[in-house]
Amino acid sequence: MRAIVTPNGFLSIGTETFRAALGRGGVRADKREGDGATPIALLPLRRVLYRPDRGWAPLCAVPVETIAPGDGWCDDSAEPAYNRPVHLPIDASAEALWMDDSVYDIIGVLGWNDDPIRPGFGSAIFLHVARDDYAPTEGCVALALPDLRHVLAAGLTEILVTAA
């Protein structure tokens, strides 16, 4: 099932619409590493990761995996592991997936710049938990935790981020 995300911060799936946080750089068709933008694209949901110490495995239509302390995602475009999961620490820039806040308690790995991976075109584009104030993300799409669980259980398989 496809969800549609609009640049004004809403995600719709079927007949339901939810508030969403998007990248601090807005939405862009020419996404680049570090621009803070959410890419305008059709983003397949590859798999879902979650913290087992903070809740049950989400119901969803894609594979589900647990994360653990030391799990990360490489955002260093000069590295062979760019835009791939890694085990921390590494001698490259990488984002920790096991965080103190709840933002990455559930992570939908979205298919951006992964087939093939092109250095500098953006990494770690996820569907994850929004902060309470829906603060902008670094380029991801974020929903309130109950909404995220609901959308995943509805059979989400892809997100279309639109320009209008």
Q: Is residue 127 within 8 Å of 142, Cβ to Cβ?
A: yes
**Chain-centre distance for alpha carbon 80:** 21
Q: Is residue 39 within 8 Å of 51, Cβ to Cβ?
A: no
pLDDT, tens only, 36-83: 999 999 999 999 999 999 999 999 999 999 999 999 999 999 999 999
Q: What is the mean pLDDT of residues 93-101?
A: 97
Q: What is the mean pLDDT of residues 80-100?
A: 98
pLDDT at 148: 98
pLDDT at 79: 97
Q: Is residue 106 within 8 Å of 153, Cβ to Cβ?
A: no
Q: Is residue 113 within 8 Å of 84, Cβ to Cβ?
A: no
Q: Is residue 66 within 8 Å of 54, Cβ to Cβ?
A: no
Q: Which domains does the chain have, with CATH numbers?
A: 2-161 (2.40.440)
Q: Is the pTM of this model over 0.85?
A: yes
pLDDT at 36: 98
pLDDT at 19: 98
Name the residue type at position 160. L
pLDDT, tens only, 13-44: 999 999 999 999 999 999 999 999 999 999 99
